[in-house]
Amino acid sequence: MDDMKIELVPEHIKKIIPYLPGKPLSEVERELGLKDVVKLASNENPLGPSPLAIEAIKKHINEVNLYPDNGVYYLRKKLASILNLSMEQVIIGNGTTDILGDIARTFLGPEDYAIVADQTFLVYRLAVQAVNGNLITVPLKNYTYDLPAMAKAVTPHTKLVYIANPNNPTGTMVTGEEFDRFLNSIPEDIVVALDEAYYEYIQDPAYPDSFKYVREGRPVIVLRTFSKIYGLAGLRIGYAVAPEELIRYLIKVKCLFNTSHLAQVGAMAALDDHDFVTKGKRVNKEGYQFLSEELKKIKVEFIPSVGNFILLILQEDPYKVYQKLLRKGVIVRPMKMWNLPQELRVTIGTHQQNLRFIKALKESL
């Protein structure tokens, strides 16, 4: 086929640098000859999945011979009731990554531009590149989204802006006042995708009331997930809220049967698991307080975080520290792919996991 010089793949696909996931936990344990490895690399819920979700999944396990409800009627109805919105303002995806891709497919043409931050969730860039959209990348300012700079980067061809709040991997947030100013400073024909994957961990009253923009009919798409506080990352289910007109267009490009039956019933049940959510928030808050105090003691710089993870800024070679931690059975995430060459990101775990991480880190510096 090479001799025939047939071009099967478009140039914009060839240029994509794919996201590189970590190895499965069992494979890491096998390679290193370790047991009981602690994974603090992917911002997963250290308490496991919602118990109510597990009960619901077990109850419906014998129904997996049936196709799932493509319209996700009952979950959309329940979310709309909880969020004081209409069902027509809610769409469900195979995780929010699914919807992030659909947003690019829906609102970007080949001549259009999307604005993303430099050091942020990599899926935004990948979503734009996959549809042959044009990227404008704006650096962070002090590890935080620079919304004034993003507003200045807008051109007549800009159609979409992706914003993570709080930002992954830095854990910083923009306030409601800052987001208001940003939204009022850009043209009304630009769609803003506001990714709130870590919303449930937020305790700062200055955080934006993002749904008010949806109720006002502004072109804002708010995304949230069941992967974090509900512990359902393996089920792949998330949702977005937006004005009805935007949701109607997103439905046009949505993959059929994109969320499994078990994911739907698990998410439905998780929404009622208030005790689990409360415990998750408490464990995360206590874990952050413990880790921040311990990091200060050993003089490791870090960025104050409002999420369930902390970004460390090391003087040492981060990859060497990562490798040392790995050999001690603790997995964290190097940040070189995010253009953060001196940083490591660590998920806030249970108290025992946090103790183990700090001990391993002290021995690795």
* Sequence ranges of the domains in the chain: 11-48+274-364, 51-270
Angle, CA 350 vertex, CA 30 and CA 227 arms, to 5° = 80
Tokens of 5: 């010089």
Q: Indicate whether 85 pLDDT > 70.
A: yes
Query: Would you place residue 32 in the very low, low, confident or very high pLDDT band (cuts 50, 70, 90)?
Result: confident
Q: Indicate whether 177 pLDDT > 70.
A: yes
What average pLDDT does this structure show over 278-300?
98
| Percent above pLDDT 70 for the chain | 98
What average pLDDT does this structure show over 114-121?
98
CA distance linking residue 251 with residue 259, whole number of Å:
13
Q: What is the pTM of this model?
A: 0.94
Under 8 Å between Cβ of 217 and 247: no
| pLDDT value, residue 27 | 73
Query: Would you place residue 23 in the very low, low, confident or very high pLDDT band (cuts 50, 70, 90)?
Result: low
* Average pLDDT, rounded, for the chain: 95
Query: Would you place residue 13 in the very low, low, confident or very high pLDDT band (cuts 50, 70, 90)?
Result: confident
CA distance linking residue 24 with residue 21, whole number of Å:
9
| pLDDT value, residue 361 | 98
51-270 shares the fold of 11-48+274-364: no
| pLDDT value, residue 165 | 99
Q: Indicate whether 218 pLDDT > 80.
A: yes
What average pLDDT does this structure show over 98-120?
97
Q: Indicate whether 246 pLDDT > 60.
A: yes
What average pLDDT does this structure show over 346-359?
98
| pLDDT value, residue 19 | 76
| pLDDT value, residue 110 | 85
Distances in whole angstroms, Cα of residue 213 to Cα of each of 145, 152, 209, 226: 19, 21, 8, 22
What average pLDDT does this structure show over 115-137?
97
Helices (H) then strands (E): counts for the chain: 14, 13
Q: Indicate whether 71 pLDDT > 70.
A: yes
Classified by CATH at the fold level, domain 51-270 comes out as Aspartate Aminotransferase; domain 2 (3.40.640)
| Percent above pLDDT 90 for the chain | 90
| pLDDT value, residue 34 | 80
Q: Indicate whether 329 pLDDT > 60.
A: yes
Query: Would you place residue 5 in the very low, low, confident or very high pLDDT band (cuts 50, 70, 90)?
Result: low
Q: Which alpha helices (H) appear in the chain, and where do they start and end?
A: 11-14, 25-32, 51-60, 73-83, 96-107, 123-130, 147-152, 176-185, 211-215, 244-253, 261-270, 274-297, 318-327, 351-364
10-24, 59-73, 285-299: segment of lowest average pLDDT: 10-24
Q: Indicate whether 197 pLDDT > 70.
A: yes
CA distance linking residue 270 with residue 277, whole number of Å:
9
Query: Would you place residue 281 in the very low, low, confident or very high pLDDT band (cuts 50, 70, 90)?
Result: very high
| pLDDT value, residue 277 | 99
Query: Would you place residue 4 in the very low, low, confident or very high pLDDT band (cuts 50, 70, 90)?
Result: low
What average pLDDT does this structure show over 104-114?
96
Q: Indicate whether 14 pLDDT > 90.
A: no
From the CB of residue 12, how many other CB atoms can be counted at a distance below 10 Å?
A: 15
What average pLDDT does this structure show over 100-111?
96
For the structural domain made of 11-48+274-364, what CATH number should be given?
3.90.1150.10
CA distance linking residue 306 with residue 319, whole number of Å:
25
Of 354 and 17, the one with more pLDDT: 354
Tokens of 346: 């660590």
Of 36 and 303, the one with more pLDDT: 303
From the CB of residue 117, how many other CB atoms can be counted at a distance below 10 Å?
A: 25
